[in-house]
Amino acid sequence: MNAILQPLEATAAEAQHAIVDEFGMLSDWSERYQYLIDLGRRLPPLPEELRTDAYKVDGCQSQVWIAPHGEAAHLEFSAISDSSIVSGLIALLLRVYSGRSAAEILATEPTFVADLGLSRHLSPTRSNGLHAMLARIKHHAAHAARAA
């Protein structure tokens, strides 16, 4: 089974704009949390062989695994969490960063986080976890770029 979520948009910037537009259609944060949970439920399952310490993200209260695939020209990520909301955050990150080049990943700041006000509406531990997941994605991209 393919555990890699393919991006919907051609660029990371387009993905971020689409995410902000989608969340903008939801009237309040209870609907936004439910949407995050729904996004997380749609993530492909992560094979057990990728649920190892090598792919586990430190700094998250929940268990999170992010596994890179590919090379600098085209990096994809498969990921999952044991938390519904965190899985939704993963789905957003994958939509922005998976299926992109290492250069695009490294050049793309997660502006959608501020645009949505996610940091204000997540618990401090989830907010820290979001930043840890982003750091892991960027770390993999930097490693791939150096290897190229």
How far, in Å, are 33, 60, 104, 110, 124 from residue 15 at the CA level?
Answer: 19, 24, 12, 10, 25
84: annotated active-site residue: no
CB 68 within 8 A of CB 75: yes
How far, in Å, are 52, 72, 121 from residue 132 at the CA level?
Answer: 17, 21, 17
Helices 12-24, 84-97: inter-axial angle, 10-degree rounding? 140
* The one catalytic residue among 12, 43, 60, 105: 60
Q: Which residues are catalytic?
A: 60
